[in-house]
Structures are given as structure tokens and as C-alpha cells.
Amino acid sequence: AGPGRGGGGAGPGRAGVDTVCAPAQGGGSAVIDMENMDDTSGSSFEDMGEMHQRMKEEEEEEAEGEAGAGEEEDGEFLGMKGLRGQLGRQVADQMWQVGKRQASRAFSLYANIDILRPYFDVEPVQVRARLLESMIPVKMINFPQKIAGELYGPLMLVFTLVAILLHGMKTSDTIIREGTLMGTAIGTCFGYWLGVSSFMYFLAYLCNAQITMVQMLSLLGYGLFGHCITLFVTYNIHFHSLFYIFWLVVGGLSTLRMVAVLVSRTVGHTQRLILCGTLAALHMLFLLYLHFAYHKVVEGILDTLEGPNVPPFQRVARDIPVVSNAVLNTTAKAIALTL
């Protein structure tokens, strides 16, 4: 031990503490200061805390890395399940789009119905006035006559004509089978109204007449009012002379009304003759067909489709022969004598 700090000698409590002689590598001695070691002992504990904190952080990072790797492995393992989920979402989106399109179509249909609403927005007083006007020919043909652009009155007249045809089939000698044949009557009336209106509109377009399709439907529909009156009267009163009178007077007035309106809206004598002559011929011949040939044609169609109308089998009383009567009388007398 070297000399002490206080007086040259080492005290009892300081011996071996202050300085320690250690052999040096070169044969000398190295002095290690214990006080400095004591001073750095606190920093060593701090370093241990830092190391412990770093170890925790590294463990957390490793745990996060393992979790990410596990998720990647799960994603790879469940790749098919993810694909199915994606397909399910796509199918759901497609179904949603289809439903959306259907809803839009429904709204567009309602919008189309709303577009047709003005053509049926009419008062009963106006319909009655137009029915009366359809039987009165106009005199002024120098300027275009006004045509009602509504379809309520013509549609009701077509249904009325259907009902009159069914009534005529019941009151006539026509044998009705398979119900009242309403489908045939509806097809005939609506076919004439729509078909002839389309044909006349095409012919009016060729003849450069100023008329629209709705106006043509309205004009021809109100022209059926004379047909309804004529058929309703002649189906209940069966006189051919009466029919011809109504055909010329009532049907002729309604036809003249339509012809006068078309003449006022057409320029050129040839065009007027073609257009008005075609309309008058079709309208008057259709009335003749409904009165004379409609029921026979319907009955012929039924016979073709279903066969002739054979009456059902009925029981008929048979006459007993004379021989059998004699045998019965002889047997009865023998039984009476025996008794």
C-alpha cells in the first residue's frame, strides 16, 4: 500500500479502497481509481435501463413483424376466401344496378303515362258536344277545321261498339259458344280503329295533309258514333229497309263530317279525292260488314276451329214392335188362366 492522503500512512478504513496497484503489462503497475469506478456505477445502471428499454422495443418490433407475417400467411392461405368475398361484392353491386335500372324504368313508365294524361283529360260536357258535332258536317272548308286532340271519347265509342256487337250476337240467330266471343269483337273494333287510322295517316302524309296521328285517331273514333247508333237500332228492329235508311242518313252524316275536315286540311283536288274517297269507302263498307257479314264470319271461324255445331245426344223413345206386343198379350192371358 502506498502512502495515505492524510499523513503518509494508510488509515484503517481507506486501505485498499483509494488506490489499488495492479500489475502492468510491461512489468510496471497500473493504478485504478475506485472513486471513479464508484462515480461511473450510476451511469452503468442507466445504461442497463436503456438496454432493457431497447430490448423491449426490439421484442415489440419482432412481435409486430411476426403478426404481419402471420397476416400475410393468412391472406395467402385465405386467398380463395378473399376472392369469393370480392365476387360476392361484385354480384351485390350488379344486383343493385339491376334494381336501380328497373326502378328507373318504372319511373319512366309513370312519366310516359303522365305524358298520355292530357289526351284523356276532358270533361263529360265536352265529350257530349263533340259527339253531336260528329254528326254535323262543316260548311267552311277554306281554312283548316279544328280537330279535338283527345282520345277519351273515341276509346269509349270503340268499347260501346264492342258491347253493341255482343248484344247483336245474342239477339240474332247466331249460336254463341265459348262465352260471348268478346275477344273477337274487341279485335274487330280496335283493329279497324287503329289500323284504318294508321293507314289514313300514312295516306295523309303522302297527300300532304295537315293532320297528326292523334287527330286522325280522334276524328275516326268520333266517326264511329254513327255506327253505334245505326247498329243499336237495327239489331233490335230487324228491317233491312230501316238499316239502309240509317246507313245512308246517320252513317253518311258522320262520314261527311270526317271528309269535310280532311278536305279543309288538304291542298290539291287530286289529293283530296284520293284521301276523302278512301276514308268514305272504308267507313261505309265497315258498317255494312258489321251488319250483314260479321256474325256469319265469326260463326264460320268457330266452325273451322271447333268443328260443326252438332246437337248433344238425346234419348229418344223407341216404338215396341207388334210381334213383341202379341207375345206379351199371350203371356198375360196364360198367366191369368193359370191363376
Instruction: Please provide the average confidence, as pLDDT, over all residues in the chain.
Output: 73
Q: What angle do CA 78, 84, 85 make, to 5 degrees?
A: 90
Residue 81: the pLDDT is: 56
- Are 254 and 226 in contact by the 8 Å Cβ rule? The answer is yes
What is the rounded CA–CA span in Å between residue 258 and residue 223? 7
Residue 132: the pLDDT is: 92
What is the rounded CA–CA span in Å between residue 252 and residue 116? 32
What is the rounded CA–CA span in Å between residue 135 and residue 122? 20
- Calculate mean pLDDT across residues 248-274: 92
- Are 237 and 121 in contact by the 8 Å Cβ rule? The answer is no
- Calculate mean pLDDT across residues 83-93: 73
- Calculate mean pLDDT across residues 85-92: 75
Residue 224 above 80 pLDDT?
yes
Q: Record the cell numbers describing residue 70, joined without a space.
A: 402471420
Report the predicted TM-score, pTM, of the whole model to 2 decimal places: 0.58
Residue 11 above 50 pLDDT?
no
What is the rounded CA–CA span in Å between residue 310 and residue 152? 43
Residue 29 above 60 pLDDT?
no
Residue 106: the pLDDT is: 61
Of 217, 243, 238, residue with least CA distance to 171:
238
**Alpha carbon 298 to chain centroid, angstroms:** 34
What is the rounded CA–CA span in Å between residue 165 and residue 176? 12
134-186 per-position pLDDT tens digit? 998 887 778 888 888 889 999 999 999 999 988 887 776 655 555 557 788 89
Percent of the chain with pLDDT over 70: 58
Q: Record the cell numbers describing residue 190, joined without a space.
A: 280496335
Residue 198: the pLDDT is: 94
The H-or-E segment that residue 185 falls in is helix 182-206
**Alpha carbon 249 to chain centroid, angstroms:** 46
Residue 35: the pLDDT is: 43
Residue 93: the pLDDT is: 79
Task: Specify the range with the lowest mean pLDDT, choosing from 89-103, 106-120, 246-260.
Answer: 106-120
Scored b (16 or more CB within 10 A) or e, 77-92 reads eeeeeeeeeeeeeeee
- Are 220 and 196 in contact by the 8 Å Cβ rule? The answer is yes
